[in-house]
Structure 1
Amino acid sequence: MATHESASGLEQQVDPDAPSLFRIYDYLLGGGHNFASDRAVADKITTLVPGYDVFVRESRAFVRRAVLHMLTAGIEQFLDLGAGMFSAHPVHHLAQAERPDVRVVYVDRDPIAIAGLGLIVHADDPSTGVIEADLRHVDEVLDHAVTTRLLDLTRPVGVVAGSVLHCLPDAEDPAAALARYHERLAPGSLLAASHADGIVLGLESAGAIEDCLARAGITLVHRSRRQFADLLGPWQPHPDGVAPIGLWRPDGLTLPVRECLWGNAVLADRRPEPAERA
Structure 2
Amino acid sequence: MSSVEQHEVEPERPSAARVYDYYLGGSHNFAVDRAMAEQAIRILPELPANMRANRAFLRRAVRFMIANGVRQFLDLGSGIPTVGNVHEVALSESADARVVYVDNDPVAVAHSQSILEQVPEATIVRADVTDPDAVLAAAHPKLDFDQPIGVLMVALLHFVPDDPRGLIARYRDAVVPGSYLAISHGTADQQGDRGSKMEALYSRSANPLVSRDRATIEGFFAGFELLEPGVVFVPRWRPDPGSRPATAPPERTATYAGVGRVR
Which interval holds the TM-score relative to the shorter structure?
over 0.9
Q: Secondary structure at the match of 1:24?
A: helix
* Aligned pair partner of 2:188 in 177, 198, 215: 198
Instruction: Supply the distance in 1 between the matched residues of 2:81 and 2:120 (Cα, whole angstroms).
Output: 21
Instruction: Supply the distance in 2 between the matched residues of 1:139 and 1:10 (Cα, whole angstroms).
Output: 25
Indicate yes or no: 2:158 matched with 1:166: yes
* Aligned pair partner of 1:231 in 210, 213, 220: 220
Amino acid at match of 2:131: H
Corresponding position of 1:70? 65
TM-score by length of structure 1 reads: 0.87
Amino acid at match of 1:177: L
Shift of 1:260: 3.4
Shift of 1:101: 1.4
List aligned pairs for 1:64-143, cutoff 5 A. Answer: 64-122=59-117, 126-143=120-137
TM-score by length of structure 2 reads: 0.92
Q: Across the two proteins, how many residue pairs are aligned to each other?
A: 259
Corresponding position of 2:259? 267
Gapped regions of structure 2 (runs ≥ 5): none
Gapped regions of structure 1 (runs ≥ 5): 1-6, 272-278
Q: 1:102 and 1:168, CA in 2 relative to 1: closer, same or farther beyond 3 A?
A: same
* Aligned pair partner of 1:48 in 43, 65, 68: 43
Corresponding position of 2:174? 184
Indicate yes or no: 2:37 matched with 1:28: no
CA RMSD of aligned residues (A): 1.9
Corresponding position of 1:249? 238
Shift of 1:35: 0.9
Q: Secondary structure at the match of 1:236?
A: strand
Q: 1:37 and 1:102, CA in 2 relative to 1: closer, same or farther beyond 3 A?
A: same
Shift of 1:231: 2.1
Q: Which deviates further from its counterpart, 154-163 or 193-202?
A: 193-202
Instruction: Supply the distance in 1 between the matched residues of 2:76 and 2:260 (Cα, whole angstroms).
Output: 15
Q: Is the 8 A contact 1:58 1:260 kept in 2?
A: no
State the identity as a percent.
Answer: 38
Instruction: Supply the distance in 1 between the matched residues of 2:206 and 2:107 (Cα, whole angstroms).
Output: 16
